Structure 1
Amino acid sequence: MSAELATPGLGRGLKDVLRSRFLLKLLVAKELKVRYRGSVLGLLWSYVKPGVQFIVFWFALGVFLGMNRSTENYPIYLFSGIVLINFFNEALGNASRSIVGNGGLIKKIYLPRELFPVASVWVSAVHFVPQLVVLLIACVFTGWRPGLLEIAAALSGFAIVALLATGLGLFFGAANVYFRDSENFVDMLLMIATWASPVLYSWTMVRDALGEVFLTLYLLNPLTIAVELFHFAFWRPTTGSVTDAGTLVPPDFFSLWVPVAAILAVLVILLGQYTFRRLEGRFAQEL
């Protein structure tokens, strides 16, 4: 019997990543080892960098601009958004550069190229865990007692961001091989991401300043929904309940906006995979 012909250099997409879990583990270990080679603090940078970022934003917005007074329990509100948006920024930034950064390896041997963006997202998840531990400790000290709904909300928010970062990482990782301007576009996108989602401010400020129509457009951003899921999971006003604290979640949040965000994240990963497969055939030549 003759084997089925296939285009050289093309795999089966993310299915090959699932079949190559050992290679994925090796790539994640390599990325972590290379990143902290010669570093004194090593993985402790996962605490230091978000800690400094939190202090700067807390003083600038919480103390000087009065967010401490307008948003109850603002430090938890701020940090729960920062840890999630930092995961997205690091995952997408590294994934978009992963193919070009591993060009030498890609030109020498064949392995599923999707491994490189996915490994970048996994490395970012490793850095996310210490920040989440700090957040959990701070929440416990402020009286946080999670239920099943809160845990489900946190897992859903993380999953939406992971899917979104992976899909965009596949898209821009492939595009960056052909158009190096993609790196600059991603850098601009990451700069906007922190301010285009309710990390530093409340979603009610968007509604009050720009109205319900713009709020609807604002909620179409999956990052907005993911950050609000983390706020629901970890942050609580010190007064009021879920039903009477009107700042807790936007209207129709769980019935409408969370499913919409999940669908959009899946569509992004499908678009990223489609684009990646269309472009990966000439990666070695272009690199």
Structure 2
Amino acid sequence: MKSAITVLREQIEAFYLVRRLSLYELKSQNNNNYLGMLWELLNPGIQIAIYWFVFGYAIRGNDRAVGDIAFFPWLLVGLIVWFFVNPSITQGSKSIYSRIKVIAKMSFPLSVIPTYVIFSRLYSHLLLLAISIIMLQFLGFPVSIYYLQLPYFIFATLALLVSISILTSALATIVRDVQMIVQSLMRMLLYLTPILWERDLPGIAGLLIKLNPFYYLVEGYRASLLYEEWLIFERWEFTLYFWGVVLFIFLIGSSVHVKFRRHFVDYL
């Protein structure tokens, strides 16, 4: 618990620095591209089109709806979450060992490195989310009072991503194989989250999907933008389960990070 309090305090005290570094990180990622920041929209746009064709027509046939929701807006909202989650976790897990030689010379806590990497992805996520909301207005899903849930689910997503990345970034610095394991798990996670498949699958598949904490986040975004449900309250058991998972991962990650961070340089 002491380690968790230490890491949480570092996140709060260095928040201004996190914002500045995250903006620098975002710009540096696109400096060498002719189209620059435009790739933050083009890349997910191309992927959405591919997933829509493959899963909407080739597999499902004739773009069949999911319940009362047309497949495209249902898929769009799920992928917007995935395009935030996937790079945040993969880049967050290697954030410390790939930057520590430079960062170690500066005076700020190592625990904020994964955080500012994740925040650099947040800006792209918010832009994609805004564009998606505009598109949804033309697809029959107008702005509603349920949008008030969105800030909560964005914060919940950040909390889970930071907790995971604090743990994986420490482990990946100690054992490089962890980074490869994370990348493999992320490929599995896409299919264990109701992004491409319906949430109510039968048997063990449905149970595994609902035990996945990202299930809560994806369904939360859809509840806000499509379903018009107060997911936080109507499925309060999932809310409690989600925050229990976040707290558990944060406690473990903080403990590992604080215990080994003095020796991170030795593992390079």
User: What TM-score do you get using the length of structure 1 for normalisation?
Assistant: 0.83
Give the drift of 1:151.
Answer: 2.5
Matched-pair contact (CA < 8 Å) for 1:78–1:200 = yes
SS of aligned partner of 1:99: coil
Counterpart of 2:238?
257
Matched-pair contact (CA < 8 Å) for 2:52–2:72 = yes
Quote the sequence identity (%).
19
1:286 aligns with 2:267: yes
SS of aligned partner of 2:247: helix
Amino acid at match of 2:211: L
My pick for the range that moved more, 227-236 or 124-133, is 227-236
Counterpart of 1:23?
17
My pick for the range that moved more, 155-164 or 37-46, is 155-164
Query: Quick one: structure 1 residues 84 and 167, their matched pair in 2 at CA, closer, same or farther if it must change by over 3 Å?
Result: same
Query: Quick one: structure 1 residues 255 and 21, their matched pair in 2 at CA, closer, same or farther if it must change by over 3 Å?
Result: closer
Counterpart of 1:162?
158
My pick for the range that moved more, 78-87 or 141-150, is 141-150
Partner of residue 82 from structure 1, selected from 79, 83, 91: 79
My pick for the range that moved more, 58-67 or 131-140, is 58-67
Partner Cα distance (2:220, 2:104) in 1: 42
Counterpart of 1:66?
60
Counterpart of 2:123?
126
Query: Quick one: structure 1 residues 162 and 261, their matched pair in 2 at CA, closer, same or farther if it must change by over 3 Å?
Result: same
Measured against aligned partners, the alpha-carbon deviations of 1:236-287 in whole angstroms (never above 9, x if no partner) come to 4xxxx97xxxxx98xx952311221122123222222222111111112223
Matched-pair contact (CA < 8 Å) for 2:114–2:166 = yes
Query: Quick one: structure 1 residues 173 and 74, their matched pair in 2 at CA, closer, same or farther if it must change by over 3 Å?
Result: same
Q: Give the structure with higher Rg (CA).
A: 1
Counterpart of 1:49?
43
Give the drift of 1:111.
Answer: 1.9
Matched-pair contact (CA < 8 Å) for 1:167–1:269 = yes
SS of aligned partner of 1:203: coil
Partner Cα distance (1:174, 1:125) in 2: 22
Matched-pair contact (CA < 8 Å) for 2:216–2:238 = yes
Give the drift of 1:108.
Answer: 2.6
RMSD: 2.3
Counterpart of 1:234?
225
Partner Cα distance (2:243, 2:255) in 1: 18
Give the drift of 1:81.
Answer: 0.3
Partner of residue 192 from structure 1, selected from 188, 191, 201: 188
1:225 aligns with 2:216: yes
1:144 aligns with 2:129: no
Amino acid at match of 1:255: W
Partner Cα distance (2:57, 2:205) in 1: 28
My pick for the range that moved more, 220-229 or 137-146, is 137-146
Matched-pair contact (CA < 8 Å) for 2:26–2:121 = no
Give the drift of 1:227.
Answer: 0.6
Amino acid at match of 1:21: F
- Structure 2 segments unaligned to the other structure (5+ residues): none
Matched-pair contact (CA < 8 Å) for 2:146–2:223 = no
